Amino acid sequence: MNPFFDALETRAPAQREAEQMAALARQVAHAQAHSPAFAEILSGVDASGVNSRAALAKLPVTRKSSLLARQRAQVARDAFGGFSTLVRGPAMTRLYASPGPIYEPEGATRDYWRTGRALFAAGFRAGELVHNAFSYHMTPGAFILESGAHAVGCTVFPAGTGQTEQQLQAMAELRPEGYTGTPSFLRILIEKAAETGADLSSLTKAVVGGEACPPSLTAWFAERGVAVYQTYATADLGLVAYETAAREGLVLEEQVIVEIVRPGTDDPVAEGEVGELVVTTLNPAYPLIRFGTGDLSAMLPGACPTGRTAPRIKGWMGRADQTTKVRGMFVHPSQVADIARRFPQIRKARLVVSGEMASDQLCLRVEAEPGGQATEALRESIAAAVRDITKLRGEVELVAPGSLPNDGKVIEDARSYR
């Protein structure tokens, strides 16, 4: 039995990179020509020159807040804010509303969200029944996984959310092999089945998403006979990365290009460093270029032991938008980045907010290159920049290079809320 969904998964890394970079240049040109939003965002960019990661890194990051703002401003004439290249009709089978609301299109292509790859890696096969417990109401979650199940050749039971007893009855009688949905609801189903005696013995695998599934919970499921695999997908991008039997991070989907940038900036971090996950999708229907997900992750070295050769990420590691209110003022990660840019000696900076409510204390911890400007003078200059940019006074602590945690945090809220 072929262990791979298709031949793309085992391409030589150099071949994949060359093919993706060639596709990237075409996608930028397509976005400029057919997406009014990106025609404006990428105005003046020579698409043919965007054929490397270095060239991609020079383009601006478009974050969800910007996408939402454009949609809200243009909703009367274009619900997608100029980002979609589809028009209503046969080419657009559905459109969805995510919280915001943010509207997303679904194209008519087979496995539009590309989740078949994730389900196949989790052991889902043609002829099996999938119990799909993602919501079918307004949001695309259920359809994202349903399209992948159909691509693999599975039949889908559209369970949706809630009605636990009825879902258990259906599972006991229809005998699904697989589950798709949130891990928390799967746990509820298994625990309720244990209480009531409902037979879930047919269920042996699951693809979960929408929330974190820590290793302890994965182990809990395994003890009860269900192998659970995580996916990272969004309503904007479709599948970004998926877990394999190796359980070593998440393998990137073949139609996305992923960067990790320092939160609050457009700048890629050093390899292995935690930062914001930025994704460029090669989907022509919704050609998002350098889309900031707002989620933290990091790249992993090497290839997946299963033989899949695409790069891997650690998975979801928290949120990148660490905006914090201090003494009644909002402080943003971009402001910390602005402070760091003023001083070439700074390698990395982390703003720590401590104290108790109504008694906030601010300390900018800075990894600085040794030598150069005198230590005390540098500290005073950085403190002045903190006041200038944030309008708040704070201490500055110079620390040795490499001593700040590699967790992607630019602003750490260490206050006591007792």
**Which range, of 242-256, 343-357, 369-383, averages the lowest pLDDT?**
369-383
- Residue-level pLDDT at 29: 98
Q: What is the pLDDT of residue 358?
A: 57
Task: Name the E strands within 298-343.
Answer: 299-300, 312-313, 324-326, 329-331
The pLDDT value recorded for residue 374 is 66
Of 121-125, 178-182, 337-341, the one with minimum mean pLDDT is 337-341
Coil, helix or strand at residue 41? helix
Asked whether 322 and 331 are in contact (CB, 8 A), the reply is: no
CA angle 190, 239, 250 (to 5 degrees): 70
Q: What is the mean pLDDT of residues 285-296?
A: 95
Q: How confident is the model at residue 60 (pLDDT cuts 50, 70, 90)?
A: very high
The answer to whether 51 and 20 have CB atoms below 8 angstroms apart is no
Q: How far apart are CA 339 and CA 349, in angstroms?
A: 9
Q: What percent of the chain has pLDDT over 90?
A: 82
What percentage of the chain reaches a pLDDT higher than 70?
97
Q: How far is CA 380 from CA 195, 362, 373, 375, 395, in A?
A: 64, 15, 11, 9, 9
Nearest-5° Cα angle at 259, 268 to 10: 140
Least confident of 50-64, 142-156, 226-240, 394-408: 394-408
Q: Which residues pair with 346 in a beta bridge?
A: 368
pLDDT band at 321 (very low <50, low <70, confident <90, very high): confident
- Give the span between the Cα atoms of 142 and 161, in whole angstroms: 10
Average pLDDT over residues 126-140: 96
> CA-CA distance, 146 to 116, in Å (whole number)?
9
Q: Where does the pLDDT of residue 356 fall: very low under 50, low under 70, confident under 90, or very high at 90 and above?
A: low
This prediction has a pTM of 0.86
Structure confidence at residue 79 (pLDDT): 95
The DSSP letter of residue 48 is: G
Q: How far apart are CA 240 and CA 100, in angstroms?
A: 22
SS percent in the chain: helix, strand, coil, step 5? 30, 25, 45
The Cβ-side half-sphere exposure at 178, using a 13 Å CA radius, reads: 32
pLDDT at 55: 98
Q: Which of 76-85, 152-161, 281-290, 330-339 has the lowest mean pLDDT?
A: 330-339
Helix, strand or coil, per DSSP, at residue 191: helix
Q: Which of 194, 182, 195 is nearest to 131 (CA)?
A: 182
Give the residue ranges of DSSP H helices in 175-291: 183-196, 215-223
**Amino acid residing at 99:** P
- Give the start-to-end residue ranges of the domains of the chain: 8-319, 324-413
Range among 9-23, 200-214, 337-351 with highest mean pLDDT value: 9-23
Q: Which residues pair with 256 in a beta bridge?
A: 281
Mean local confidence (pLDDT), 180-193: 95
For β-strands 129-132 and 155-158, DSSP reports them as parallel
Same fold, 8-319 and 324-413: no
Q: Is the pLDDT of residue 139 over 60?
A: yes
Q: Can you tell me the mean pLDDT for 263-284?
A: 95
Sequence letter at residue 122: A
CA distances from 76 to 19, 70, 79, 291 (A): 39, 11, 7, 24
Q: What CATH number has the domain spanning 324-413?
A: 3.30.300.30
| Mean confidence (pLDDT) of the chain | 93
For 8-319, which CATH superfamily applies? ANL, N-terminal domain (3.40.50.12780)
**DSSP annotation of 90:** T
